[in-house]
Structure formats: structure tokens, C-alpha cells
Chains A and B, each alone.
Chain A
Amino acid sequence: MPSVRVAGVGLTPFGEHPDRTTRDLFAEAGIEAMSDAEVRADAVDAVYFGNFVGELADGQGHHGPLVAESLGVSAPATRFESACASSGVAVRHAVRAVECGDADVVVVGGAERMTHVGTDEATAMLATAADAIHEVSAGVTFPGAYALMADAYFETYGGSRRDLAHVAVKNHGHALENEYAQFQFEVSVDDVLEAPTVASPLGLLDACPVTDGASALVLVSDEYARDADVEAAVEVTGSGQASDTLALQDRETLSRTPATERAAAEAYRDAGIEAADIDLVEVHDCFTCAEVFALEALGLYDPGEAITAAREGETWRDGQLPVNCSGGLKAKGHPVGATGASQVVEMTRLLRGDHPNSDYVSEASTGVTHSAGGTVASTTVHVLEVAR
């Protein structure tokens, strides 16, 4: 099976771009990735694009061909929609396309545009990731769904809002020097605890922001990288994907995320690694509690143990397991459809040494990215390694 290399990466600054279009945001990230990979448009075999609410936010469906066109690429193009995991799933399929020999060069990424609609409409759009019949009709918002999980976690394992606040403090700290991050400022534990409540126990600073932005990667086969003499120091060695029931009420437990456990098992098996081999991770921290759920489901902490990780300094960039050195969704921002691929972009930059936080993780050779849709009803896990 051909191995898969990351030949190029691109991002737009994450933040507010209300006057731009989704296609233009993706064009910026995609052109940067293709330039980084030194790949020409006619060499691209496929375009995989993640986007969640294009119809609702832009009045535009059918974004696949539209974004390929924006890059000057005429290859087959497909949009992937899996809520907040949309481009995580797109990366997963791009990896598989290269591995099975269907493609040598794939441009994959995502984009979202949401800041122009206002809080009410954004809340309603994000809520469509939940079950419309069983959850949205009972007043469940996206923060509300994660709040139910946090409430159940506290009941099962203990922990406090203060513990969660440390996750926000850490991720804001990590984003300070990231030129692509939406929030390049620090917050204190008190800031987080005193912020207005969105859905108890989660406050405004426990939540990621509403964000516009795009991400893109050029994934190539080992053979293409060699023949084209492309420098591609990072390899995607493992990929996993799993699903769960959409509605929380149908799950055996609310305090764990078994879909991530299954996706991680597949990705680790694919890469031939164990959780103990992982040097750093980028996880889907749409809310502070989500980082805790992810670290436990990825096997990096036992259930009930990750809640104190940030407070103890273990997951800071200079800790034993750096988590979300990019700033995470929490501080870097969460342009929903762009997020999954942006984690792979950031992990690539961290591993190849051109991220502002690379110096903190200079010994790292194995990184894992984790993308989650809804309340982890869709999830992907990818293993990235510095190619030997």
C-alpha cells in the first residue's frame, strides 16, 4: 500500500471574514497549499472539500466543483458533510484514495463562513448537528448538548468548572504566537469562571468562537513525492473513522465518547502504534470539556483522569503531552468545515518545524489529530509521523 505524504499545507487566518465567500476562502488556503507542495493544477487527481452549513449560511450547496474551480483545478471534486468533522472525514477519504492507488495527488481541506449571520442564527445552524426530532425539539443547542455531557462527567468522575477553565487558559496561551489564530490573547481562570453562562456548566469562554476560515492540504503518494522531488517530511500513517448515535439519549453513557475510542483503535492499528507512542495531539476542543473527553477516548488518560491534565500543566506545550499547540478550536477558532483538515495542517507544521510552537516539541516524531462532529457522532483520528 503506498504511503501518504503531506506535500503542502495552507490556511487562511481564522477569524471574521464576513464580506468574503466560501470559495474565496478556500482558494486562499488551497493556493497556499499547492504552492507549498510545488504542485500544478493539472497534476491534481481529486479535490475533497469539507463544509457544514453552506446552504444555510451562504445559500450555496454543491460546493465541491465550485472550490475546485476556484483553484483552477478540473479534477473530480466532492463535498463532505459530517458537521464539525466534515474535513476530518474529507482527509480520511483523501488518505484512503491515495493508499488504494486511486489518486497520487489530492487537494483536501474545508471552509466555513458563519460570522455574518449573528448569534441566533449561528446557534440554530450549529444545532442542526444534533437530532432534530429528539434533541433540537427539546431545546438542545450545541453548547447545551456538550453541557449535558459535562454534567454527566462531573457526576460520574468528579471535576469542576475550575478544572475546565484551565483548558481554556492553556489553549489561549498556545495561540498567542499563532499568526492564523482568531484569539491571540490570554485569559485567566477567573475570566473563564466569570464569563456569562451559555449552558451550565459551560460559560462563554468554555466555548470555541464562531469563525470564518479555510484549510487545505496536498496529500501525495510516496511515489509521486519521489518522482516529483517534492519535500514531504510528514507522513500520514494511520486513519480511523467511527460513528455513534446522533442523539445523546440513545447512548449507554454520556460521560465517554466511544466513537473516538473506535476511530483511535483503527488509526493506531493502521499506523502500528500505541497510545504510549504519541508525542503530541491536536484534539477537537469545541468546548473545554470536549478536550477532556478526547484525551480519555484516545487512550492518553484513563476515564476520569484527564480533567486535571491542564491544571497540572501536563498538557501545556512544555508538559509531558502537549495538547492543542495550535490553540485548538478554543482559541485558534472553529470554521466548522475547515477544522478537521486544519488540525492536520497544524500538526504538519509542528512536526516539520515551521510552527511558532515547534521549538517546544522539537523531539516529537508522532502526532495524532482528532476531529469530532456533533457530540462525537462522527469522528476521525489521524496519525502523522516524521518520515524516516
Chain B
Amino acid sequence: MSERETASRTHDEFCRAIETGDPFYLACPDGHGSVPPRRVCPECGAQSLTVEALPETGRVQAATVVHVATSAFADSAPYVTAIADFGPVSLTGVVAETDPEAVEHGTDVTLAIQRTDERKRPTLVFEPR
């Protein structure tokens, strides 16, 4: 087996790193960013990925107020799901905001993780700054 620098990380490790205040992303030698689970850079196929610190603040690129939800999110509806640009990567999360109509493009957000019994996986949460 050839030697590789692949920094294999699980999605669970990605979430736990957010919880401990040390969020990261994966970077290939050409600087393309991605988030786990990845073994190769999705953009250029490079197999050498390193763990880098994720910028603390992201900016909302697109948002929607979801009124008809799956059962795992039914208790939260209506809620805002957004895609936010964190520089090397973009992430998808639920915006922690009491007034869903108040979320706008360009809103700065930081990351948090929410865990509930109803949901199979941890929920990535965007907290407006």
C-alpha cells in the first residue's frame, strides 16, 4: 500500500470538533476545501488531504423557511435552513433564530451542534452573530 497523507476523518469527528470549539476542514495541496467523510479532494481527485482550521464565521448565501418538514424536524417547523460560505467550504445548517423571516443573505453566522433523540444525526446549527 502506497504511503498517503490522507487525513481521514469521520463526520462525527467533524461535529465533535465544532462542539469543542476547534472546527476543521480538509484541504488538498491545491487548496480545495471539503468536509468529511472524504478520502480524495472532490474537486481535483488529490488523495493527500490535511486537516486545517475552519474560519469561525460564515456568511449566509441562500436560505429557505421550511414549513413542511420531515417528522424528525416537525417540532421545529417553520425553521430556516441555509447554506453559508465559510471560505474554503460551504456548509448547510439550521439557523438558530426565533424570527425565520429575519434571516437575510449576508448574515454572519457561527457554528454549533444540536443533538436530539428524534434525529439520527447531529444537526449543524448556524448562530447569527
Which A positions have Cβ atoms within 8 angstroms of B?
Answer: 119-121, 123-124, 127, 132-141, 143-144, 147-149, 151-152, 155, 196-202, 245, 247-250, 254
Is the CB–CB distance between B71 and A137 below 8 Å? no
Tell which of B71, B90, B93 touches A250, judged by Cβ atoms closer than 8 Å.
B90
A379 → chain B closest CB, angstroms: 18
Q: Are A120 and B64 in contact (CB under 8 A)?
A: no
Beta-carbon nearest neighbor of B76 in chain A: A139
Q: List the B side residues contacting A141 at CB < 8 Å.
A: 66, 68-70
* Inter-chain contacts of B69 with A (CB < 8 A): 123, 139, 141
Partner of A199 from B34, B67, B119 at Cβ < 8 Å: B67
B positions within 8 Å CB-CB of A: 11, 34-35, 37, 42, 61-74, 76, 78-79, 81-83, 89-94, 105, 119-124
Complex Cα spacing A119 to B68, Å: 9
Choose among A139, A143, A196, A245 the residue with the greatest number of B CB atoms under 10 Å from its CB: A139
- Say whether, besides A120-B74, A249-B83, A139 and B62 are in contact (CB < 8 Å): no
Residues in B whose Cβ lies below 8 Å from that of A147: 64, 66
13 contacts across the A-B interface (CB closer than 8 A): A120-B71, A136-B70, A140-B81, A141-B66, A143-B68, A147-B64, A148-B82, A151-B63, A197-B65, A198-B67, A199-B64, A199-B65, A199-B67
Minimum C-beta distance from A122 to chain B (A): 10
Please list the 3 inter-chain residue pairs (A to B) with the smallest Cβ-Cβ separation, ordered nearest first. Answer: A147-B64, A137-B121, A249-B90
With A133-B121, A134-B35, A197-B65 known to touch, is A148 a contact of B71 (CB < 8 Å)?
A: no
Residue of A nearest to B90 (CB): A249
For residue B75, give the distance in angstroms from its CB to the closest CB of chain A: 11
A123-B70, A124-B71, A138-B93 given; A250·B121 CB < 8 A = no
Contact, CB under 8 Å: A250 / B42: yes
Distance between B44 CB and nearest chain A CB, rounded to angstroms = 13
* Chain A: minimal CB distance from B33 (Å): 10
**Alpha-carbon distance between A250 and B42 when the two chains are bound, in angstroms:** 9
CB distance from A143 to the nearest CB of B (A): 7
Q: Do B120 and A137 touch (CB < 8 A)? A: yes
Residue in B11, B64, B78 whose CB lies within 8 Å of A148: B64
Residue of B whose beta carbon sits closest to that of A120:
B71
Partner of B62, one of A134, A137, A151: A151
Query: B68 touching A134 by the CB < 8 A rule?
Result: no
Task: State the majority secondary structure of interface residues on A.
Answer: helix
Residues of B within 8 A of A247 (CB): 92
B61, B64, B72, B89: the one within 8 Å of A200 (CB):
B64
Q: What 4 new A-B contacts, CB under 8 Å, besides A124-B71, A148-B82, A155-B62?
A: A137-B123, A199-B64, A199-B66, A202-B64
- CB-based contact A254/B67 at 8 Å: no
A254 touches B123 (CB 8 A): no
| Least Cβ–Cβ distance between A289 and chain B, in angstroms | 11
Q: Which residues of chain B are near A136, meaning CB under 8 Å?
A: 70
Asked whether A248 lies within 8 Å of B42 as measured between CB atoms, the reply is: no
CB pair B70 A138 closer than 8 Å: no
Give the nearest-CB partner of A197 in chain B: B67
Residue from B35, B42, B73 within 8 A of A139 (CB atoms)? B73
Enumerate chain A residues within 8 angstroms of B70, measured Cβ to Cβ: 120, 123-124, 127, 136, 139, 141
Contacts A138-B123, A139-B79; A133 near B63 (Cβ below 8 A): no
Q: Which residues of A contact B82 (CB under 8 A)?
A: 148
Q: Which residues of B contact A197 (CB under 8 A)?
A: 65, 67, 78
Residues of B within 8 A of A138 (CB): 81, 92-94, 123-124
CA distance in complex: A136, B123 (Å): 9
Q: Are B83 and A137 in contact (CB under 8 A)?
A: no
Q: Do A196 and B62 contact each other (CB < 8 Å), given the known contacts A138-B93, A139-B123? A: no
How far apart are the CA atoms of A254 and B92 in the complex, in Å?
Answer: 13
Chain A positions within 8 Å of B11 at CB level: 133
In the complex the two chains form, what is the Cα distance from A313 to B120 in whole Å? 46
**CA–CA, A133 to B119, complex, Å?**
12
In the bound complex, CA of A134 to CA of B90 (Å): 11
CA distance A133 to B9 in the complex (A): 14
In the bound complex, do residue A245 and residue B66 qualify as a contact, i.e. CB atoms below 8 Å apart? no
Alpha-carbon distance A149/B76, docked complex (angstroms): 22
A120 nearest CB across to chain B (Å): 5
The answer for the CA separation of A37 and B67 in the assembled complex, in Å, is 46
Residues of B within 8 A of A249 (CB): 83, 89-92
Determine the chain B residues whose CB is within 8 A of the CB of A134 once the complex forms.
Answer: 35, 91-92
* Best-surrounded residue of A147, A148, A149, A152 (most CB of chain B within 10 A): A148
Q: Which residues of B contact A248 (CB under 8 A)?
A: 83, 92
User: Do the beta carbons of B65 and A254 come within 8 Å of each other?
Assistant: no
CA distance A152 to B35 in the complex (A): 22
Q: Is the CB of B81 within 8 A of A123?
A: no
